[in-house]
Amino acid sequence: MRLLVTGNQGYLGSVMVPLLQAAGHDVVGYDTGLYADRVLGPAPTDPPTIAKDIRDVAPGDLEGFEAVIHLAALSNDPLGALEPQITHDINHHASVRLAKAAKEAGVRRFLYASTCSVYGAAGADAVTEDSPMRPVTPYAESKVRVESDVHDLADGEFEPVFLRNATAFGASPRLRADIVLNNLVGHAMLSGRVLVMSDGTPWRPLVHARDIAEAFSRCLTAPREAVHAMAFNVGAEMNNATVAQIAQEAQRAVPGSELDITGETGSDPRSYRVDFSAIRAALPGYEATWSIADGARELAAAYRSAPLTREGFDGDFVRLAVLQRKQEAGLLDADFRPR
């Protein structure tokens, strides 16, 4: 299948594209490369990539593709809180513009990278795709709006699917250090300490980047009736964990490191456990198999074999830090467009 993958030079995209290519797809990327030069370990080989902002996408960019995987976004909660208007422009308005352009160009399937953050502070019961969405950040709000607006475009020719990913973990050549397990394992190695600045009780569903990639790959070829205009939580119940449990796995993966749970009340109200049965039912044989413990060990090994430094970890692999540095260096304008 000929595919356009937006955000292909990000953390998930750099893991997903090789998997799609191995499945026989012809992949073209679409990315402004905000973090393309921030690589851990050997540099990946990117597919041919359209270096254009998704805010400027036009139907002509989508001609000839059978499916679009849309990953490009300002992709975390702190980023959205800092720049709520830009987050809405890129994550919401440009995503809807992209979906409309895809539909106009005759693209059939449109896979959207949503998030389990749409459930927000959900309480004790595990949320399903039918649970109310209570986003607590501009980032999560932007994802809810895209789902709603793009759902309205679904018809006999245009088949959107909304993949609500749990928080990812695991090695990627374009590492993100601002997601919980990746962060804790890195700090365990660099400082000998796994520090949790809360009481560790909030629930966080996690999923390995490769299990996300596999879910997207299978959604591309699933029969229309299994996925058309549907939302799926992407993850596994075994990886519904409290922040304290996640921290314990980080500590176990780094021998000699110490665990410090400060016990303060955290400022982040997100806490939710997630039911992942719908995606297993829709995609027979699909299962997210990477455990948090396996991912923590994989990360520790990747960090050990790369020249990881404290400065690099916090500066090159934290999305917000990279954007701020590039703005200060005059490489990005105030709207995060490359100069």
311 and 200 Cβ atoms separated by less than 8 Å: no
Q: Which stretch binds ligand NAD (CB under 6 A): 30-38, 145-153, 282-290, 320-328?
A: 30-38
Q: Which of 139, 123, 152, 151 is nearest to 83 (CA)?
A: 139
Q: Which of 207, 91, 114 is nearest to 163 (CA)?
A: 114
The verdict on 167 binding ligand NAD (CB under 6 A) reads yes
Contact positions with ligand NAD (CB under 6 A) in 78-117:
90, 113, 115
The verdict on 39 binding ligand NAD (CB under 6 A) reads no
The verdict on 292 binding ligand NAD (CB under 6 A) reads no
Out of 18, 33, 202, 266, the residue judged to bind ligand NAD by CB under 6 A: 33
Out of 98, 144, 179, 296, the residue judged to bind ligand NAD by CB under 6 A: 179
Place of tokens 């993958």: 5
Residue 335 CA to residue 144 CA, distance in Å, equals 22
The verdict on 77 binding ligand NAD (CB under 6 A) reads no
Out of 4, 5, 7, 39, the residue judged to bind ligand NAD by CB under 6 A: 7
Out of 3, 35, 274, 298, the residue judged to bind ligand NAD by CB under 6 A: 35
The residue among 53 and 294 lying less far from ligand NAD, judged by its C-beta, is 53
Q: Which helix (H) or strand (E) holds 157?
A: none
Q: Which residues pair with 24 in a beta bridge?
A: none
Q: Which stretch binds ligand NAD (CB under 6 A): 26-34, 40-48, 153-161, 270-278?
A: 26-34
Residue 144 CA to residue 187 CA, distance in Å, equals 32
> Angle CA(67)–CA(218)–CA(174) in degrees, nearest 5?
80
Place of tokens 């809807």: 96
Q: Which stretch binds ligand NAD (CB under 6 A): 38-46, 53-61, 126-134, 308-316?
A: 53-61
The verdict on 47 binding ligand NAD (CB under 6 A) reads no
Provide, rounded to whole angstroms, the least separation between the CB of residue 19 and ligand NAD.
14
Q: What tokens does 203 get?
A: 């629930």
Q: Which of 301, 300, 180 is nearest to 245 (CA)?
A: 180
Q: Which helix (H) or strand (E) holds 233?
A: strand 231-234
The verdict on 31 binding ligand NAD (CB under 6 A) reads yes
Residue type, 205: P
Out of 25, 92, 103, 176, the residue judged to bind ligand NAD by CB under 6 A: 176
Out of 4, 5, 67, 72, the residue judged to bind ligand NAD by CB under 6 A: 72
The verdict on 319 binding ligand NAD (CB under 6 A) reads yes
The residue number with the shortest CB distance to ligand NAD is: 10
The residue among 116 and 308 lying less far from ligand NAD, judged by its C-beta, is 116
The verdict on 5 binding ligand NAD (CB under 6 A) reads no
Residue 20 CA to residue 71 CA, distance in Å, equals 14
The residue among 72 and 241 lying less far from ligand NAD, judged by its C-beta, is 72
> Rounded to whole angstroms, what are the CA distances from 226 to 25, 160, 279, 280, 290?
21, 12, 9, 11, 24
Place of tokens 């895209």: 146
Residue 47 CA to residue 16 CA, distance in Å, equals 11
Q: Which stretch binds ligand NAD (CB under 6 A): 68-76, 188-196, 253-261, 273-281?
A: 68-76
Residue 45 CA to residue 69 CA, distance in Å, equals 19
Out of 49, 87, 137, 165, the residue judged to bind ligand NAD by CB under 6 A: 165
Residues 6+ apart with CB under 8 A from 152: none
Contact positions with ligand NAD (CB under 6 A) in 251-280:
none
Count residues contacting ligand NAD (CB under 6 A)? 28
Binding site for ligand NAD (CB under 6 A): 7, 9-13, 31-35, 53-55, 71-75, 90, 113, 115, 165, 167-168, 176, 179, 319
